[in-house]
Every structure is written in C-alpha cells, then in structure tokens.
C-alpha cells in the first residue's frame, strides 16, 4: 500500500532535495513556503487521475502498434540493444514533451490548463507536481504514445520514466546549477527556471524537458549569461486551493465563451 501511494519514493525525494536546496540555493526561500500544502495534495492525489488517462493512452497505442505498425519495424526495434533503445526512447519522448509543452503555451484554451503549473511563485523541487491532471495527461500523450506505438521494450520505457521522474524534480529545484558548456545540450535547473520566469523576455521559451538542444534547434532557447530569473508566476490571480485549481481551466473557458458570446451579440 505504501508503494501504491508512492510514500517511499516521495520520502526519498524529500530527503535528497531539501538538503540539496539548503546547500546550493539559487534564491533565499523557506522550506515551508506558500502553497506547500496544496502541492502535497497534488503529489498524492494527481497520480490517480493521471493514471486513468495514461492507461487509455497506452491501450490505444498498443492497439495501433498491433494493427498498423509494419512487422519489419517491430522486428528492427526488438533487435536493438537495451542501451540503444533507452537513448532513442529518451530522444523521442523529449521531442514529444517539447511540442506538447509548446502547444500548451501557444493555444489559449490549452494555456488555461498549463497556467496552473506556472502559477507557482516560489519555485522549488515540489513545484514539479503542481500541474493540472489534464496538463500531465496531454504531455504524456505526446511523449509516451509514440513509444508504445513503436513497440520499445517495457524496460526501456520504464527507464525513461525513472529518468524523467528525477529530472522533473531536479529542474524545478531551488538550486544554482547551470551545467556550464553542456547548458545547450541538457536541460538544467537554470534553463527551466527561465521557463517559469514571469519576465517578458523569458516567456514562451525553454520547452524541452531533458535536451535543451531541441529549443536551440527550434529557436525557443533563452539563457542569458550572468543573469538569473527574479520572479515567477502568471499575470492574473490564481486560486491557491487544489480543487479550485482543478476547476480553473473550466471556469476560464466558460468565462471566455461568455465574453465571446456577449461580444458577438453586440
């Protein structure tokens, strides 16, 4: 039951990142910062909601794999060594993260979902889980769906999940870490902190989850040397309660629809 709820993994993550943030803090910030309790609810409740969506994604992907994917492709992927499969899985998964993430920013209706994640104003490791379930499911569809369609081994995909789990907490962590010459190859905390910045120049930048060269390739990288982001969050006021945050996109969509209808009538 403990593993089902993820308490052991969470405890290990906490024991690693809390002291690391104390030792290598990028900003002066309290451990018991604003929104901490809400993020703990995200940590232990969101997983169940996301799981339902991921099960559907995987089921559809397996059907596509079995009914559409050419046998030659299946055999070619099966024949790949585990290490090669892992490399391909991470590369394919992260380009899926890049484009779904970019869509979440570019499409107004999708932004209302993703704004829940960007509402965090005091960034730390636990901010990684401050996401609307629809946000997570959409990004999983972009990253996980093609992996199961192509038929990579469960071990390779499981390794990707494990890597991404730790990467998500690391890049949100309140640590001063920029990777030096590798900053344009791998996503660092500095790289992702700029993505969360509310400063105008940094908006809609740095979408990749693991490989920053995707942003370099598609012209969305923002890493000014010698500078650090100072403020985080979104322009409009956001709820602080978990249930209100779940409702936020639907309220925003309804308000937008009402405004459009009113403008049309006038």
pLDDT in tens, 118-177: 999 999 999 999 999 999 999 999 999 999 999 999 999 999 999 999 999 999 999 999
Determine, yes or no, domain membership for 258.
no
Residue 122 contacts residue 232 (beta carbons within 8 Å): yes
Determine, yes or no, domain membership for 94.
yes
pLDDT of residue 257: 85
Determine, yes or no, domain membership for 132.
yes
Q: Is 223 left (phi over 0), alpha (psi -120 to 50) or beta?
A: beta
Determine, yes or no, domain membership for 186.
yes
Determine, yes or no, domain membership for 214.
yes
Nearest Cα neighbor of 168 from 145, 202, 147, 192 is 192
Where b means 16+ CB within 10 Å and e means fewer, 5-43 reads: eeeeeeeebeeebeebbeeeebbeeeeebebeebbeebb
Q: For residue range 32-51, what is the model confidence (pLDDT) as tens digits?
A: 999 999 999 999 999 899 99
How many domains does the chain fold into?
A: 1
Determine, yes or no, domain membership for 22.
no
Determine, yes or no, domain membership for 246.
no
> Greater confidence, 175 or 6?
175
In terms of residue numbers, what domain contains 227?
A: 34-70+80-235
Here the tokens at position 230 are 């100072």
Where b means 16+ CB within 10 Å and e means fewer, 122-158 reads: bbbbbbbbbbbbbbbbbbbbbbbbbbbbbbbbeebbe
Nearest Cα neighbor of 111 from 253, 262, 254, 258 is 253
Determine, yes or no, domain membership for 16.
no
């Amino acid at each position: 039951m403990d593993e089902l709820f993820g308490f052991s993994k969470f405890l290990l993550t906490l024991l690693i990142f809390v002291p690391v943030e104390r030792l290598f803090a990028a900003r002066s910030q309290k451990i018991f910062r604003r929104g901490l309790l809400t993020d703990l609810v995200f940590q232990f409740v969101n997983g169940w909601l996301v799981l339902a969506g991921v099960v559907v994604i995987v089921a559809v992907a397996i059907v596509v794999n079995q009914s559409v994917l050419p046998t030659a492709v299946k055999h070619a992927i099966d024949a790949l060594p585990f290490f090669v499969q892992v490399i391909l899985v991470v590369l394919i998964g992260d380009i899926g993260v890049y484009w779904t993430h970019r869509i979440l920013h570019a499409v107004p209706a999708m932004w209302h979902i993703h704004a829940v994640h960007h509402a965090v104003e005091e960034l730390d490791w636990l901010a990684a889980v401050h996401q609307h379930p629809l946000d997570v499911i959409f990004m999983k569809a972009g990253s996980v769906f093609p992996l199961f369609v192509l038929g990579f081994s469960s071990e390779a995909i499981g390794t990707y999940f494990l890597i991404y789990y730790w990467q998500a907490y690391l890049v949100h962590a309140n640590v001063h870490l920029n990777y030096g010459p590798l900053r344009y190859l791998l996503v660092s905390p500095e790289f992702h902190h700029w993505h969360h910045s509310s400063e105008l120049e940094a908006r809609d930048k740095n979408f990749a989850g693991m490989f920053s060269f995707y942003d370099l390739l598609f012209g969305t990288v923002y890493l000014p040397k010698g500078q650090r982001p100072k403020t985080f969050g979104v322009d409009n006021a956001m709820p602080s309660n978990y249930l209100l945050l779940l409702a936020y996109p639907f309220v925003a969509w309804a308000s937008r629809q009402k405004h459009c209808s009113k403008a049309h009538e006038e």
